[in-house]
Amino acid sequence: MASNRPCSQARSTAIAPAIAASFQRRVGRELIAGSRGFIGDAMMSSPAVILCHDGGSDPRFIYANKAAAALWRMGVDDIIGMPSRLTAPPEFRAERSRALVQVATDGVLFGYSGERVRADGTRFVIEDATLWTVDLPDGRSGQAVVFETWRESSGPAKTGPIG
């Protein structure tokens, strides 16, 4: 699926150093160990899912790696620019919003779990995710997530694609 959104995978990769630096400040360790000179490539190819959205009133993704794209069954360029709320089923969006408020207040949240919906409508649960506030190059704040553990959901199937 091609995207005509204004952001691209190249722009997404350019934001990677800010995501990694903010993780280092908030969590106290490297996001991708040993990748200092090549953080953009390391994050994009990491087996861990990494996503970041901007700090707008309806946040939109500004970064997604290949693992995120594969999990959501979309292309990286299709995720970039998409409202991040659409990754959660409607009945779980309030819970997701509460977690994001906590991250905005505390700077980091460890051990987050939540139900998500793929582009094709199937559901899965992310487990043991770390969410953190990202200091973006333009002076605004965004929020990012990294996780390696997820499972298929036993919840109700959504009848349509993300949206």
Residue 163, pLDDT above cutoff 70: no
**For the whole model, what pTM was predicted?**
0.88
- The pLDDT-based confidence of 13 (bands split at 50, 70, 90) is low
158 DSSP 8-state letter: P
pLDDT at res. 7? 44
pLDDT at res. 156? 55
Burial class (CB within 10 angstroms; exposed 0-12, middle 13-18, buried 19+) of 101? exposed
Q: Go through the domains of the chain in sequence order and give each one's CATH number.
A: 9-152 (3.30.450.20)
Average pLDDT, the chain: 87
Residue 128, pLDDT above cutoff 80: yes
**Cα separations in angstroms, 115 against 58, 88, 95, 124, 152:** 19, 6, 10, 6, 9
